[in-house]
A = this chain, B = another copy of it.
């Protein structure tokens, strides 16, 4: 059995998409463990099919290279982000598996240099817009704030947000476009973002914990798998130049279902890109 994500067997040279994982969770404040997500996703990917009956496509027909796991240092946040930034400078579409959400900052730093007009599409339960968290400016809870400092006003589109402190919701009112509580504005967002280079960041805790328990800070009241799936299918209308799937924490997923949920949504994203 290959150790790659199922069906991602294309050599690097001819690949269009490069899948890799960034096993970093040092700033996780509540319950760490997302560093194990990449291993769990690759292992469980062999429990689903490579063929999507929804899109009638097969991963084996796509050109995806699985580059495995980055070897990131533990406890040195800035250095880990630099290693991610350097890795994603390649000519291919990066598809990053977290790790905690802060890894997105490394990828966006690289992509924003390449695409000055970069827009961010952000699915999450949490706003991630704090200016600092317990005095730290680099944290899973500040990642969208740091990204806003790079891309600026009007470039960040957030969906499914249902948790944050009052300052984050006030910040969002002036600086980002936020669809609170659900994904209903997604069709409107697609109209607005059409044509622009878009980086799509999927924090899996946007899902309701009934279907996705395997995460450090579950937040009840999220969307169903079907709703997320429907929103992901809309991505075919956008120019996605990079993406990530973050915050799976296998320790809180005794049954393995959360890993399989991640695998299936990754398969559908790969087929859409």
Q: Are A75 and B26 in contact (CB under 8 A)?
A: yes
Q: Are A255 and B254 in contact (CB under 8 A)?
A: yes
Contacts of A169 in B (CB 8 A): 53
Pairs A–B under 8 Å by Cβ, sample size 25: A3-B3, A26-B27, A26-B74, A30-B46, A31-B47, A32-B35, A39-B43, A49-B164, A49-B165, A50-B165, A56-B166, A73-B136, A74-B139, A75-B102, A79-B135, A208-B225, A209-B211, A209-B257, A210-B210, A210-B211, A210-B224, A210-B225, A210-B257, A220-B264, A252-B254
User: CA A265 – CA B251 in complex, angstroms?
Assistant: 25
Contacts of A56 in B (CB 8 A): 166
Query: Which residues between 49 and 74 of chain A lie within 8 Å of chain B, taking CB atoms?
Result: 49-51, 53-54, 56, 58, 68-69, 71, 73-74
Q: Are B257 and A134 in contact (CB under 8 A)?
A: no
Q: Are A75 and B30 in contact (CB under 8 A)?
A: no
User: CA A161 – CA B26 in complex, angstroms?
Assistant: 27
User: CA A139 – CA B75 in complex, angstroms?
Assistant: 8
Contacts of A213 in B (CB 8 A): 255-257
Is A163 close to B, CB under 8 A?
yes
Besides A3-B3, A31-B47, A48-B163, 20 other CB < 8 A contacts?
A1-B71, A26-B26, A30-B46, A30-B47, A39-B43, A49-B164, A53-B162, A58-B165, A73-B135, A75-B102, A75-B138, A76-B77, A208-B225, A213-B256, A219-B260, A220-B264, A220-B265, A221-B225, A252-B254, A253-B255
Contacts of A136 in B (CB 8 A): 73-76
> Known: A1-B69, A73-B135, A138-B75. Contact between A261 and B220, CB under 8 A?
yes
Q: Are A53 and B211 in contact (CB under 8 A)?
A: no
Is A124 close to B, CB under 8 A?
no
Is A192 close to B, CB under 8 A?
no
Q: Are B210 and A49 in contact (CB under 8 A)?
A: no
Specify which of B181, B218, B224, B251 is in contact with A257 (CB 8 Å cutoff). B218
Q: Are B30 and A32 in contact (CB under 8 A)?
A: no
> Known: A32-B25, A32-B35, A51-B165. Contact between A218 and B260, CB under 8 A?
yes
User: CA A232 – CA B1 in complex, angstroms?
Assistant: 31
